[in-house]
Amino acid sequence: MTVEINGRSAASAELRRKRTASGIAFLVHSATGLWLTVLLAVVMVSGTITVLFAEIDWLIYPEVRVTAGDERINPGLLYDRVRTAYPQVGVNSLQTAALRERSAGSALVAVPEGGFRMVWVNPYSGAVTGDTAVFTVGRFINTLHTNLFLPAIGRYVVNAFGVLMLISIVTGLITYKKFWRGFLRRPRFHRGARTWLGDLHRLTALWSVWFLLIIGFTGAWWFYQNPLVEPGGAPEIVEDWPDPPTLSTAELDALGPETPIPRSGAEIVAAVQAAYSDMTVTLLIPPANAAQPFTVRGDRGELLVNGGANTVYVNPYTAEIMGVRLSEDWTAMQRIDAAMHPLHYGSWAKRGAADLTVKLVWFLGGAVASFLAVSGLIIYLKRTRRAASELLVGSRLAAGLKRLWHWVKPWGGPMGALKYVNVLGLAGILSGAVLVLTLGAEGFGDKGTRFATQIVGPFEVTPVALAGFFEADLPAIRPGAKTNVFPEIAGGRFRDARFIRVGLSDAAGEEVGRADVEGAEGIAHGHLHLPPVLEGTRLWIEIEGWDGRKHRAEWPLLGAQ
């Protein structure tokens, strides 16, 4: 009798332990999908759509659509044609659309009247087909998914959902006892809504768990890198890429005192194709300053890598190759890191019908993930309170949590007190989207902090400080803040400056920071970290001409307009 009683007692204790573990897993599973429901829904739905963002733009904008020809022209000619069609703009980069048969290439440019445009060019004829806003419908959704238009923290928030997804998968499998039996279990549609919706939730989750694991793991991988490694200081697991080669002072001096004329894009790409005949050129990035190379990226048939795995650095004045970074030279961790993006977005098939097929599968997977988030919310409303009360019944903690629940619920509902985080996040997304669309169309305008115009040698310069593209509404001059200084040079003389540098000096005249100005004309800037004490600090700009002469002017940091 004693043994039997002890046996039953042990069995009862084990049963309670299992129920407790399952109950806790259920509460954690519910919480991961409920506390940030609104933001989760935005990330899930935008991520689903962004898988097809290029195809969406192809359908909407006639400038993007081209008729496939027999042969593509030299990709460098696309860059040259854009420069010819838009002679007064700075070209930031050009995508050749080499892996998309019926799509135009695209160049991001900064126009003199303010704002940015996307210029489209036919890769078969070289004809410019027109220009559109930078944030096309597809690109808008893509940017929404990657950073939610939230200043500073947007990417952190999006990446964090990868960690939450992994937690949700693990706790969901723990909650669903003997889940392997559920792959062929049909939903009980003849029962109540909660029953059949719960059955459908579990069935779709089981069949899509492979996809959810891919999305969760890639998102968690990026979360470790951003924000844990940067800016959190966690150990780096992916080796840094080596710095690209640069032109020496002697090489620049050899070009002479007059503003040199760089080689054409066609000549630069021809040199790359002569050295690497198996490379399909996908991206061109002109130099960000006079000492930097012209960067050419391309695809050589690598698996699970986006179409720019190989990088060739070319001297922009001689078309000589200065260095390369090829995929076969990557370390194992760099190779794994490169696979994260095509795995996350389903872009690993790269071209043709295979590319569209994989993307449609990923689109379906994203739709399922979005359904799981919504259906989980509905299921929660009918089950979580009961599960919580059963789990905590009879404990002292239960009474306290129950009182807390009744205090929080009227304000937060199923999201609890984090309802306010969702509402504030949604408000931030909307305001950030409006800001980004405005900046894309109009440029900085009256955003940021504008300093008085000064003559710096032969140049007329107006410095503009901006906290950041997504932080344009924040004060640019704040103690200890990071800011970007854009030196606006009048008269179209940007290319006559060999180097432009910006920096800070304290009240004693000691230098407390400096940076090279880099980027295409119209968006070139230097990045500065402001000191904690701004009183007496001065901003300076130094311009070095091609004749080697340096000219400098200063502005009181607190005396801006």
Give the HSE-up count for residue 163: Cα atoms under 13 Å, Cβ half-sphere. Answer: 13
Quick one: tokens of 474? 């924040």
Q: In angstroms, what CA-CA distances link 520 with 88, 216, 339, 452, 558?
A: 12, 36, 29, 23, 28
Residue 270's Cβ-count burial label (10 Å; 0-12, 13-18, 19+) is middle
Residue 8 lies in a domain: no
Q: Which of 295, 330, 365 is the last residue of a domain?
A: 330
Task: Judge whether 126 and 69 are in contact, CB under 8 Å.
Answer: no
Q: In angstroms, what CA-CA distances link 176 with 19, 206, 235, 351?
A: 12, 10, 36, 39
Clarify whether residues 185 and 289 are in a common domain: no
- Give the pLDDT of residue 4: 46
Q: Which of 403, 420, 437 is the last residue of a domain?
A: 420
Give Cα 43 distance to the centre of its chain: 13
Residue 347 lies in a domain: no
Clarify whether residues 66 and 47 are in a common domain: no
> What span, in angstroms and rounded, lies between the C-alpha atoms of 528 and 502?
8
Quick one: tokens of 248? 């020496």
- 11's CB contacts (< 8 A; 6+ apart) are none
> What span, in angstroms and rounded, lies between the C-alpha atoms of 205 and 122?
43
Residue 442 lies in a domain: no
Clarify whether residues 37 and 154 are in a common domain: yes
- Give the pLDDT of residue 382: 60
- Give the pLDDT of residue 410: 46
Clarify whether residues 366 and 507 are in a common domain: no
Residue 56 lies in a domain: no
- Give the pLDDT of residue 386: 55
Total domains, the chain? 4
Residue 160 lies in a domain: yes
Clarify whether residues 409 and 460 are in a common domain: no
Stated pTM of the model: 0.86
Largest Cα span, the chain:
105
Residue 218 lies in a domain: yes
Give pLDDT tens digits along the chain (561 positions): 344 444 455 545 444 544 567 777 777 777 777 777 788 889 999 999 999 999 999 999 999 999 998 899 999 999 999 999 988 788 999 999 999 999 999 999 988 777 789 999 999 999 999 999 999 999 999 999 999 998 778 999 999 999 999 998 998 888 888 888 888 888 888 787 777 778 888 889 899 999 999 999 999 999 999 999 988 889 999 998 889 999 999 999 999 999 999 999 999 999 999 999 999 999 999 999 999 999 999 999 999 998 889 999 999 999 999 999 999 999 999 999 999 999 999 999 998 899 999 999 999 999 999 888 887 777 766 665 555 555 555 555 566 556 555 545 545 566 666 777 888 888 888 888 887 888 777 776 677 889 999 999 999 999 999 887 777 778 889 999 899 999 999 888 888 999 999 999 998 889 999 999 999 888 899 999 999 989 999 999 999 999 999 999 999 998 665
Give the Cβ contact number of residue 480 at 10 Å. Answer: 10
- Give the pLDDT of residue 271: 97
DSSP 406: H
Clarify whether residues 457 and 390 are in a common domain: no
Q: Is beta strand 294-299 parallel, antiparallel or unpaired with respect to 128-133?
A: unpaired
> What span, in angstroms and rounded, lies between the C-alpha atoms of 548 and 387?
75
Quick one: tokens of 372? 């799981």
- Full 3-state SS string of 224-289: HHHHHHCCCCCCCCCCCCCCCCCCCHHHHHCCCCCCCCCCCHHHHHHHHHHHCCCCEEEEEECCCC
> What span, in angstroms and rounded, lies between the C-alpha atoms of 435 and 118?
18
Clarify whether residues 44 and 154 are in a common domain: yes
Q: Which of 381, 400, 420 is the last residue of a domain?
A: 420
> Residue 505 is part of a domain; what is its CATH number?
2.60.40.1930
> Residue 284 is part of a domain; what is its CATH number?
3.10.450
- 26's CB contacts (< 8 A; 6+ apart) are 171, 175, 384, 387
Residue 156 lies in a domain: yes
Q: Is the dihedral of CA 486, 448, 140, 112 positive or negative?
A: negative
Q: In angstroms, what CA-CA distances link 308 with 26, 39, 283, 339, 342?
A: 43, 31, 7, 12, 12
**Which residue type is seen at 54?**
A
Clarify whether residues 182 and 295 are in a common domain: no
Clarify whether residues 45 and 157 are in a common domain: yes
- Give the pLDDT of residue 520: 85
Clarify whether residues 232 and 151 are in a common domain: yes
Residue 438 lies in a domain: no
Q: Is beta strand 116-121 parallel, antiparallel or unpaired with respect to 294-299?
A: unpaired
Place of tokens 């048969």: 101
User: Which of 500, 460, 112 is CA-nearest to residue 289?
Assistant: 500
Clarify whether residues 551 and 485 are in a common domain: yes
Clarify whether residues 204 and 258 are in a common domain: no
Range of the domain at 317: 249-330
